[in-house]
Amino acid sequence: MKEDSNKDKTRRQIAEAAMKMFIERGIKDVKMDNIATELSISKRTIYELFADKEQLLLEALKLQDENTRDIAKIKIRDSKHILDIILSLYTLYFEKMKTINKKFFYEITKYPNIIQLNREREKKNDKRFIAWMEMGRKEGYFREDANFEILLYILRRDLEAIFAVNMNRADNELSKYSPDELGRTLILFYLRGISTTKGQEFIEQYLKQ
């Protein structure tokens, strides 16, 4: 049992170190040798715990999701109402994006298992998004005539489109903006659009703070 515990601890340390390097440099530029050097361990130790870079990346992403959920729980606990929760979590998300190398977003789409993980994550997030929007409507922050399923579809399409353009075309007008700035602007545009006067007043108050 002690051996298994040590292995789990080492796996976690490797995954955390690898994720930090992936988001700073991009996935392709980080070799197993780099990770081994960073942790002062042998490359063989990494391969004993992870079959390849994709498995390591997959576990690193799952670990990051776990850490994000823990932080989100604290944000939710300390928030006043659903719109406060939504804005707090989006702020957390886009602050994190500031630290991520643009190459990471493009290179992560090259791994089949990661694509599947993202699809599963999107399904869960979509259900949560709709539930939160409905809760916000009941609390008087979102308009009664807002169709949240259509909003979700358009929002996801637009986010994917502006990030794809931003990643792939250096001469595009949007390329001068960071992914977090693009995403934050888009989210605020849609939130303001579906908010009641009460919701819009809180958004402005939140932004000033």
Both structure tokens of 31: 């070799």
Q: What is the spatial distance between Cα 110 and Cα 188, in angstroms, rounded to a whole number?
A: 30
Contact of 39 with 17, CB cutoff 8 Å:
yes
Both structure tokens of 119: 């699809």
| Among 68, 43, 69, residue whose Cα is nearest residue 56 | 43
Average pLDDT over residues 162-177: 64
Both structure tokens of 121: 């994550």
Taking the model in full, what pTM does it have? 0.80
Tell me phi and psi for residue 195, to 5 degrees: -85, 150
Query: What's the 3-state SS for 72-136?
Result: HHHHHHHCCCHHHHHHHHHHHHHHHHCCCCHHHHHHHHHCHHHHHHHHHHHHHHHHHHHHHHHHH
Q: What pLDDT, on the 0 to 100 scale, is given for residue 165?
A: 61
Given 39, 60, 77, the domain boundary residue is 77
Both structure tokens of 2: 């002690």
Domain count across the chain:
2
Q: What pLDDT, on the 0 to 100 scale, is given for residue 102?
A: 80
pLDDT digits (tens, 9 = 90+) for 146-159: 999 999 999 888 87
Confidence of residue 62 (pLDDT cuts 50, 70, 90): very high
Q: What pLDDT, on the 0 to 100 scale, is given for residue 100?
A: 85
pLDDT digits (tens, 9 = 90+) for 30-57: 999 999 999 999 999 999 999 999 999 9
Q: What is the spatial distance between Cα 61 and Cα 203, in angstroms, rounded to a whole number?
A: 31
Q: Quick one: 95 and 144 in the same domain?
A: yes
For 39, the domain range is: 1-77
How many beta carbons lie within 10 A of that of residue 60, not counting itself?
23
Q: Quick one: 200 and 129 in the same domain?
A: yes
Given 61, 77, 93, the domain boundary residue is 77
